Structure 1
Amino acid sequence: MRNLFRFFLRNVHWVLFLLLLVFSVILIINNNQMQRSRYFVVVREVLGRFYSIVDVFQSYINLNVTNAELMRKVSELETEIYKYKNILELIKDSIQTTSINIDSLHAIVYQFIPARVVDNSILRKENYIILNKGSENGIESDMGVVSYNGIVGIVISTSPHFSEVISLLNPQLKLSCKIKNNDHFGPLIWDGKDSRYTCLTEFPNYVPIKIGDTIITSGYSAIFPEGIPVGIVTGLQKKKNDIYSTLKVKFFIDFGNLNEVLIVKNVYQKEQNDIRKIIVQ
């Protein structure tokens, strides 16, 4: 202990220098918008690369399980592709004698960019996810993120090679969703308690609800297409003399086992947002 004390006395000027340096950097970051922005880009890039390295080792350990899951998903997707090809052929046959332009059936509104989760939190009050795709891959803020089982979150910031996603397990994220059977909608907000469940709030009391009803995206924003599954209703909380109910919804997604995702790019998102701004004004 005495030697340690002597060491600090001999190097007190260096300790003071480091403390002042750290204090100066903090002041610059907190009081300068440009420096703060660059700082977070660098930090996000460094953290993203670190989590990528960790993810490589984890992926190697879980390789067999991951491959089996991917093969199962591929088989399901091939089945869906075959089904929709048949539906498309039926539509073509039914409109051959009409003036409808068949090319409109192939119009692409939403594009899906595959990405991998390199960091994910589920135990905090406000949870975020880091993906291994960034601005160099065409990823931008306000793009939706989905998995094969449903909604994951929304991109809030990017660096060249990574992007940060606000998870559905974050009370700051409100997502417009509806009941699949009757199209009545409300905001989906996580209550910060259980990562397996969320809440559909401000739902009209007069609308009939059944346990097991499916919750899907409403399509009322430019971020997600309509009809993406979110979860199922497992409970209903009605308050006396209140016109709204709160539905307890169990996620289809297991956020604790989230690996592969798709980033949703809406080709017409900017145009839709511009129209909304005009309407609001």
Structure 2
Amino acid sequence: MEKYWDILLNAYSGYWNYLKKEFLFQNQWDNYFYGLILISLIVWLLEAAFPWRKNQALFRKDFWLDTFYMFFNFFLLNLIILIALSNTAEAALNDVLNLIGLNLAELRLFNADDLPKWLGLLIFFLVSDFVQWNTHRLLHRVPWLWNFHKVHHSVKEMGFAAHLRYHWMEPVVYKSLLYIPLALVANYHAQDVAIVYFFTIAIGHLNHANLGWDYGILKYIFNNPKMHIWHHAKELPNHARYGVNYGLTLSIWDYIFRTDFVPHDGRDIELGFANDETFPKDFMHQELYPLKKKQ
């Protein structure tokens, strides 16, 4: 236990030092803090210049709540939970494998250093997105997970910051299911995958933005605002009662597995879920909602 406690302490101190470097511009092109701010400002300006819903205010309903969620989930949540979880999970997995005479490096299909960088990053991106697509489906189909996911679907007016409105439990589920597939595929360096994270953040922001784009023929590959609006639709047909358009960055999984649904222009459809008028409106009560619902 002392080993895991040391890992936790080192994870917290290491991530805190990392955040200080982010704030002070000591991390350069892979600076996630200012990268998030820059991407958010660009997409917000696009919303202002090309609004799909003309009558939606630039400071839309829950704009500041979603902005708080964005920074809390992307930075503070990592500090409090995810970094420590990831490091301890890696140590625990290696310990279990060692009991049966194996180690994680032996089980990897390949090492990212042995591939051209673009190919390694492409594999990382495709595996990550497919696992997350399946995890997203679970969030809709498993009732106790859906209670956590309701926080994200409580958005009533779409805007870029709605992308990162989610309950703290969601990334725990995502990263828990994602860790082993990625660990078995290859060993990736954090700086190398920064470009993938920036790309997925940009696509996620655009998916939730007040923009009427579908990217033409590329809509069959990349998720887009006109497709993702239907994922947030309050009313769906019976055959899609668990949801549609689960793609995070890529839409291709929905087209392959026939969970795509874009019946018409969804610009003015009502967003939310059944009985969402009783759902809490503030951050703290939204975070506590799944626990009270469980009781």
TM-score by length of 2: 0.29
Larger Rg: 1
Greater RCO structure (CA 8 Å; 6+ sep): 2
Bigger share in helix: 2
Bigger share in strand: 1
